[in-house]
Each structure stands twice: as structure tokens, then as C-alpha cells.
Amino acid sequence: MKIAKNREKSKLMIGMEYLNRRINLTEKDKRLLLNFEKGFDGEKEFDKKIETYLCNEIIVLNDLLLVNNGTTFQIDSLIITSDTIYIYEVKNYSGNYLMNSGELMTSNGVDINNPLLQRARIEHNVNALLIEWGLQYKVEVNVLFINSTFTLYQARIEDPIIMPTQIKNHLLEVNNTSKLLTKNNHFLADMFIRLHKSSIPFQKQLPSYHFDHCKKGLCCSNCGSFDLILS
């Protein structure tokens, strides 16, 4: 198993973490940062499972930001085997949810952005890129719920969803069915990496701040505390 692209925090997330130590973020920005951190933690947890259960000739690409015909889309995790591209939209939701007429909502009825729609958009754009590149691969895109406390009611068995209890068996199946990689497989990985964008102009920007209003001084690189003891 080869990790061809490591996972990294987005520039926006890093910037907001720094600002959170030095200014008072609004409640809206605090919630946004919390969502970033929770999502990143879930993706890192999935990375650990990949490293645990995949050992055959497989290429892994993490955290791709791609553009196809002016449409920007993000891929959390992408696995290339000899004949299949596996793509995962990783969600770190916790608690009880239900699928109602194709719409995802919390158990108390609050609508959630449906990850199945994100999944369909990713599948469409990846297939379009493969046609453009003249490559033929089977593409399997799944929404993967990583949090062990997540429960989903009323989901259909045919929905492209991987539940927390299914992750191990799914990855073992991917590992056991993978054959020897070819030059085309490595070429495909290189194409995705070359297309990856570190940022796009219309991404959400950092909250407004002024240098004079920022807390000054050195802080711990791990916890962010300004209470340092030099030794």
C-alpha cells in the first residue's frame, strides 16, 4: 500500500486555529472551526483504518481539491486498485439520524446537507475526468460514517453508505480483491495529484481581524496556551 498524497489541514483551518488563540471569534466562526476540527479528526481516524487493513498493491490519495469544467469538488479519500477507484466521503457525525424520503435529518427533525448528493456530484465529475483522460475504470463512491456512536435509521440497503461497523470488512474486501498495479494505475494517481489545487479563489476567507487586536506572545504549538515556562 502506497500513500501518494498525505492528508493536510486546509489553509483556512490552520488560519482559524491561529486566530482562535489570539482573538475572540464569533459564535458562527467558532462553530465553523469546530466542524473543521471534527471532520479532520474523522478523516484521520479513517486513515488509521486504511493503514491497518490495506497491505496489498494499492495507491491512496487523501484530501484532493479538484476542478472539472469550472466545477470544484473535494475528495476526502481515494483508493486506486488495479481496476477500481474507490472514493469515500467521510462523515464524523455522532448521535441518531434518519433518512426520510432521501433526505438526511437528525432524530429531532433538523435537516442536514445530504452527503448522498455530494457523493453523486463527485461520481459525475470523476467519471467526466476519466473520459477526458481516456481512461476506463470502475468508480465506486461511498458515504462513510466513521464515528462509532453514529446510528442511521430508515436507510435503504442499496444506498451507497458504509456504516461504522462495516468499515473493517469493506476495507478487507478491497485489499483481498486488489491485483498487481500497472503503469496506468500510477499514471492515474499522478493525474489526480497534478490536478489537485491547494486552494481556490472563491473559498471562504479568514474572519476579519486587526493586528492591534490580536493577543501577542508565544504560545504552545500543541495546546495553544500562552502560559509557557522556558526551561
pLDDT 10s digits, 161-173: 999 999 999 999 9
Please write the tens of the pLDDT for every residue from 115-137. Answer: 999 999 999 999 999 999 999 99
Give me the pLDDT at residue 64, please: 96
CB 62 within 8 A of CB 39: no
Rg, C-alpha atoms of the chain: 20
Amino acid at 215: K
- What the block records as the C-alpha cell of 21 is 488563540
Q: Which residue has the higher pLDDT, 226 or 137?
A: 137
Instruction: Calculate what percentage of the chain has a pLDDT beyond 70.
Output: 98
**CB neighbours of 56 closer than 8 A, spacing ≥ 6?**
1, 175, 176, 178
- The pLDDT mean for the chain works out to 92
Architecture of domain 2-213: 3-Layer(aba) Sandwich (3.40)
Question: Residue 100: is its pLDDT beyond 90?
Answer: no
Question: Residue 200: is its pLDDT beyond 80?
Answer: no
